[in-house]
Amino acid sequence: MRFSFRRLEKEHALSILRWRYLPPYDTYNFDADTTQEDLCYLIDPKNAFYAILNVHEELEGYYSFGADGQVPGGDYCTKALDIGMGMQPDLVGQGQGKHYAQAVVKYGVNQYRTQKCQVTIAEFNKRAQRVWEQVGLKQIGKFVKTGTEEEFVIMIYEV
């Protein structure tokens, strides 16, 4: 499979904001009531969101480098590049995620000259955990998100 990365543009962000995942993954749907704020957030360069595009320049997913990948309550003492990622809902569950994840880790390590990357994932989301495990990340911690009862795990990759 061939794909490329590009800084997230407004049109990409508007598509992402409309994406709807089926339960139990609907927790990743953006809220229709906060579209304008979310749009500004997604295209703000300091949040480092990137589009994953296929050879026809169609949006297949997106990812972020940095604080967006963190969840309140997690222990982020280890200095590592945080990664967040999401795929276009029609493409999930078909074994493609690991290809994107692998390329994102490689790009992040090179771009940020870092030895470590980490991903914070909802504990229930075994599918996502499996994908990151397949590209070499290992779970280093588990915590409850501040102000909720939702459990999350932190997985780390070391070069």
Strand partners, 82: 118
Q: Determine, following the binding rule CB under 6 A, whether residue 72 of this chain makes contact with ligand COA.
A: no
- Pairwise CA distance, residues 80 & 88, whole Å: 26
Q: Which of 8, 13, 25, 105 binds ligand COA (CB under 6 A)?
A: 25
CB 81 within 8 A of CB 68: no
- Pairwise CA distance, residues 102 & 135, whole Å: 6
Q: Smallest distance, Å, CB 71 to ligand COA?
A: 11
Residue with the two structure tokens 């990948």: 69
- Per-residue interface string for the shown chain with ligand COA, residues 83-122, x marking contact by CB under 6 A: --xxx----xxxxxxx--------------------x-x-
Residue with the two structure tokens 């932190």: 154
Q: Smallest distance, Å, CB 121 to ligand COA?
A: 5
Q: Smallest distance, Å, CB 135 to ligand COA?
A: 11
Q: Smallest distance, Å, CB 91 to ligand COA?
A: 7
Sheet holding 81-87, edge to edge: 3-7, 49-54, 59-65, 81-87, 116-122, 151-158, 138-144
Q: Determine, following the binding rule CB under 6 A, whether residue 126 of this chain makes contact with ligand COA.
A: yes
Residues that bind ligand COA (CB under 6 A): 21, 25, 28, 85-87, 92-98, 119, 121, 125-128, 130-131
